Amino acid sequence: MLSSCVRPVPTTVRFIDSLICNSSRSFMDLKALLSSLNDFASLSFAESWDNVGLLVEPSPPHTVNTLFLTNDLTEEVMEEVLQKKADLILSYHPPIFRPMKRITWNTWKERLVIRALENRVAIYSPHTAYDAAPQGVNNWLAKGLGDCTSRPIHPSKAPNYPTEGNHRVEFSINHSQDLDKVMSAMKGIEDVSVTSFSARIDDEEQTRISLNCTQKALMQVVDFLSQNKQLYQKTEILSLEKPLLQHTGMGRLCTLDESVSLATMIDRIKRHLKLSYIRLALGVGRTLESQVKVVALCAGSGSSVLQGVEADLYFTGEMSHHDILDAASQGINVILCEHTNTERGFLSDLRDMLASHLENKINIILSETDRDPLQVV
């Protein structure tokens, strides 16, 4: 009797209910999300040659409900992205690196762009900004070594610093000279900031002028000062460097709290990266029982970062044949794990960190199809 009272729910009702459920899900505007991602790890930390940031943008406004994390964006991964209805792909490696002259169906990277735009999916890549970040890929890689202290091999420079310009010019003016004329001339040059203070030089009261300027403005400053031989001969020009960041930069030099055998270190690295095999080059005179105290590491391709660094072990994804020979000749062991195997595991940590950083405002999912293209057979 009860069953006779049951009526199918109209399609329109189900559709409206679906809309209500979807609208209640959290999301972020793309621009706001990009700003938050930059707060998490500034793109200014990326290497100058890199292509980082927003690479593909659907027409605005664009809202993001699901953020999809992958190490590499391949066509197989793109299929997964579309299946899971993601709105933004965070691809650690930039799928667009070299300039594209056309967008056609002929190459796989062009097809990625087409499919992303057709399906309103944005693409963002942090790459070397995440390598350098204090909570980034290289720090994650160092976690597998055991208890240690680490520092960047090549520290990053502070992206923002109060000092404007990259040169400082300092000179002194006798009170008998036309101070107002000089100050007016300096302040009239674009991209110059000027300060002055009293100073006693050679038992004489003088005004010390200090100014910061760009390279372009420096030539105008020098041109003006050179017109007064006495003034110009006492001028000092300094190159300004932004301060180094203690925990940010490329690679990591790790000093273990306690030395371990190379064999033990190999086991730790395999366990951390979930690998059955790694590639090993023994340093001259070294064995599996040789002690390891200092490890120089770099996620991905480490040749340029690790070159010339004093360590017991180089740990990276890949190195050139001749760089391996050079290291081994110096008694340095080399462990290679293939390029993306030293990066991909970081994405699990990244998912958790971003969820916290973004206050769980959006869904964050990890690719299940992304994998290293090389296999041991």
DSSP 304: H
Distance separating alpha carbons of residues 106 and 124, to the nearest angstrom: 23
Binding site listing for a divalent metal cation: 93, 131, 339, 343
Distance separating alpha carbons of residues 23 and 292, to the nearest angstrom: 55
- Whether 372 and 276 have beta carbons less than 8 Å apart is answered as no
What are residue 217's phi and psi, to 5 degrees? -70, -30
Going from the C-alpha of 352 to that of each of 134, 271, 367, the distances in angstroms are 16, 20, 14
- Give helix 75-83 / helix 108-118 axis angle, nearest 10°: 10
Centre a 10 Å sphere on the Cβ of residue 197 and count the other Cβ atoms it contains.
8
Q: Are strands 66-70 and 88-91 parallel, antiparallel or unpaired?
A: parallel
What are residue 342's phi and psi, to 5 degrees? -90, 5
Binding site listing: 93, 131, 339, 343
Distance separating alpha carbons of residues 332 and 295, to the nearest angstrom: 10
Q: What is the largest CA-CA distance in the chain?
A: 113
Closest CA to 54 of 95, 83, 84, 86: 95
